[in-house]
Amino acid sequence: MEGQQEKIDIREWTGNAVDLRDQMEARGVVEVVFEFDGGETDTFTSKLRDEFRAYELYQMGGYLDAVIGTIRKGQRS
């Protein structure tokens, strides 16, 4: 299949925000709000600057992944 562009699925990319550096820096993310089923909310803002940067959002993703894992583990018990 020469001459055809290879399709790249971004979901297959592995790495972290440090690998991206300035290629894909988040812009304008001032807060992240989580709304729960009961209507409660948790709001996160950057403690270092006015906006979140890619590495902070990456760390938040890791935190959320851990929280989700804990919730799912609790539901199985």
Q: What pLDDT was estimated at residue 41?
A: 92
User: What does each of the 77 residues of the chain score in pLDDT, given as a tens digit?
Assistant: 455 555 555 556 566 655 655 566 667 889 988 888 888 998 999 888 899 888 888 888 888 889 888 988 888 87
How do 41-45 and 31-35 pair as beta strands?
Answer: antiparallel
Q: What is the pLDDT of residue 1?
A: 47
**C-alpha 65 chain-centroid distance:** 9
* Residues 5 and 21: beta-carbon distance below 8 Å: no
- How far out from the chain centre does Cα 50 lie? 18
- Residue 70 main-chain phi, psi, to 5 deg: -65, -45
pTM: 0.56
